[in-house]
Amino acid sequence: MRKSLTIISVFLAIILALAAVGNRTGQAARPGDAAGPQSEALPVATIEASNGSGFDVSNMDPSVSACANFFQFANGGWVARNPVPPAFSHWGRFEILEEDNVKVLHGILDSLLQKKSLRRGTNEQKLADYYRSCMDEPAIEAAGAKPLAAELQRIDQIADLAGLEREIAVFHTHRIPAVFGFGAAQDFKNSTSVIAQAVQGGLGLPDRDYYTKDDEKSRQTRDEYVKHVARTFELLGDAPARAEEEAATVIKIETRLAENSTTRVQRRDPEANYHPMNRAQLSELTPHFDWNFYLTAIGLPTVGKINVGQPDYFKAADKFLSAVPVDDWKTYLRWHLVNSASNTLSAKFVEENFNFNGKYLQGTQEILPRWRRCVVSTDRALGEALGQLYIEKTFTPAAKAHAQAMVKNLVEALRSDLTTLSWMSDDTRKRATSKLDAFVRKIGYPDKWRSYEALQVSRGPYYNNAVSAGEFEVKRNLGKIGQPVDKTEWGMSPPTVNAYYNPSMNEIVFPAGILQPPFYDPKADDAYNYGGIGAVIGHEMTHGFDDTGARFDADGNLAMWWTPDDFKKFKERTDCVVKQFDGYEVEPGLHQNGKLVVGESVADLGGLTVAYAAYQKFLEGQPRPPVISGFTPEQRFFLGYAQIWAQNIRPEAARLRVATDPHPLGRFRVNGPLSNMPMFAQAFQCKAGDPMVRPPDRRCQIW
């Protein structure tokens, strides 16, 4: 979520069964509902903000009108007091919670190191030894680049195309996507099966556009990248002149690959990236690449069906393999080997990697401390092993039960919402409801934990453990091909501060790491929690009906289940969101890419709509909640949503995100959806013409 607003947390007694939802634009106002913070129309009974309110009024900026810029109104005080720390490129409520979780994981790993004996082969032993090897700076410094020696020698011995193909296969077994990427994927049109998939890849910069755009900033970034590559070759021992030549070779090859790659927007269309082929068809597509040899080398000698995500890319790459001199490919492979390994090597490699990818690309001023990087690396390698220990410390059965109930209630709210959509036909409505009812709901942590029995971890070099973890993950992934889909599997570890919807599984997933304040706070009032975690739950659910999710049916198959007229209406409504976000300027001359962020933005708008309706239903049949610090329950709902997006971000990081991230920047995730909601305008008495009220002819409404 946040990443996708893909999030959630636990609720306590606020979880009640929800039935039909009221009016599409919100229920009729009650006395005081629409009053602003200082309005005389507020009820007499008010209470001051406290730990029980869920929000701190000092985080707000009362000098700004809620109807002019709600992000600033809700978060201006917080933004002013919370500059981005030197070791981060952005800083917000997500990052703060993530750091809290990392500290818990740090404590767990440190406690494992204190144990005198851990039985070999146990998860605890592997966690301790992996973390210990990462923290062993003297050994890492003494080794320098020596851990790469055998692989560099093997690359140096490549003499022909066959040797190049062999090394590409080795890279792929180490989780390095040289030239292209390969792995297991659910069959888009047969969601019960897992097939092989080949996709474009092989770039060192964040996106193909970094190679293809010709503006001054893009040219500058390519120049800095070439310098970074050259400096890294020098660290391997190459003379400066040779290193410059090698860097020029790398950028030349990567540019050719990038020029034939599809854009991120194009890759959002599942139909355009589904091209299943058998081996004969694949060999015809790429006659210079020996797929039989490659598949045998990665352990898949009998695999049949392979989805080729971007056939034109593979046609072009195939020609490059034979046209580009083998020595140039060897240089390319040396770069991708050291680039993938830099963070496991000595400090000079770590610093060079950080100076480009951290400082230059994201504006980060200093590197994170060693322990912090090692905790994250351990979580990445043994996420569910570490997650089991995290769950024991942080997530009670009661918390899981409350979260499950909250998700159930929001599902009921969306079901009720579907029954009121005037633009959707009965045929499509029935299928949409069936899809909603089929949602698989995963809360907190897996019911079946992943086995790490086959993963070898020792007290030896950190690099060796990192490679071992990569090989283990690749083997586990490739082992799924040809097997039934494992519907118990999770795509995130339990401590992750995020959540997601998977269209092929038709599942919504909420790790325990996000089920905490500020997204859900047991001390906060119901309005604030519904605006926070309720909108998050709704966000993930409506991902099932965003511009991509809407193309997958209840069983997770890529299939058109809409009537043609309904899908046309749906597309018109999502196009409204595209146009809206195209208009948001990040900095002079740089706008959000509406076609890239449309999925997340549709889910934000849908999630808020569903959560607000759920909260209104919750209020029925009980005493009117009090005004707190001058804010009505409805106003606190919108504050609850806005304040989870409090964020400061460096200009460099903002530019990177606009180019690569399908999620809009935080301020647009607040002002964008809320300006489409009459319920928001009613709550804060905003008028036509106010910046937070989009004109009726430009207002986007889907759910």
The HSE-up count of residue 216 (CA atoms within 13 Å, CB side) is 1
Cis status of the peptide bond prior to 147, with omega within 30 of 0: no
- Distance of alpha carbon 582 from alpha carbon 584, whole angstroms: 6
Between the alpha carbon of residue 98 and those of residues 102, 387, 498, 547, the distances in Å are 6, 14, 9, 29
Q: Which of 554, 573, 570, 614 is nearest to 416 (CA)?
A: 614
- Distance of alpha carbon 592 from alpha carbon 581, whole angstroms: 6
The one-letter amino acid at 336: H
Other Cβ atoms less than 10 A from the Cβ of 43: the count is 14
Q: Which of 142, 150, 202 is nearest to 345 (CA)?
A: 142
- Distance of alpha carbon 192 from alpha carbon 483, whole angstroms: 9
Phi, psi dihedral angles at 182 (to 5 degrees):
-145, 140
Length in residues, the chain = 703
Check if the beta carbon of residue 508 is closer than 8 Å to that of residue 545: no
Strand partners, 552: 558
- Distance of alpha carbon 173 from alpha carbon 183, whole angstroms: 10
Q: Of the listed 525, 604, 634, 661, which one is catalytic? A: 604
Q: What is the DSSP letter of 196?
A: E
Q: Which of 584, 605, 574, 617 is nearest to 691 (CA)?
A: 584
Residue 192 CB partners (closer than 8 Å, separation 6+): 484, 485, 555
Residue 366 CB partners (closer than 8 Å, separation 6+): 86, 87
Q: Which of 464, 151, 465, 159 is nearest to 338 (CA)?
A: 151
Phi, psi dihedral angles at 636 (to 5 degrees):
-65, -30
Q: Of the listed 540, 547, 600, 634, which one is catalytic? A: 540
- b (16+ CB within 10 A) / e for 650-681: bebbbbbbbbebbbbbbbbbbbbbbbbbbbbb
Residue 675 CB partners (closer than 8 Å, separation 6+): 691, 692, 693, 694
The separation between the first and the last C-alpha atoms of the chain, rounded to the nearest angstrom, is 19
515 token code pair? 């089920």
Instruction: Match 């209406």 to its residue by tokens.
Output: 569
Q: Is 486 a catalytic residue?
A: no
Q: Is 604 a catalytic residue?
A: yes
Task: Give all strands (DSSP E) within 234-281, no chain letters.
Answer: 276-277
SS3 per residue for 531-557 = HHHHHHHHHHHHHHHCCCHHHECCCCC
- Distance of alpha carbon 663 from alpha carbon 594, whole angstroms: 10
- Distance of alpha carbon 297 from alpha carbon 546, whole angstroms: 39
Region of residue 630 (left: phi > 0; alpha: psi -120 to 50; beta: else): left
Strand partners, 510: 443
The distance from CA 135 to its chain's CA centroid, rounded to whole angstroms, is: 28
The one-letter amino acid at 110: D
List, by residue number, the catalytic residues.
540, 604
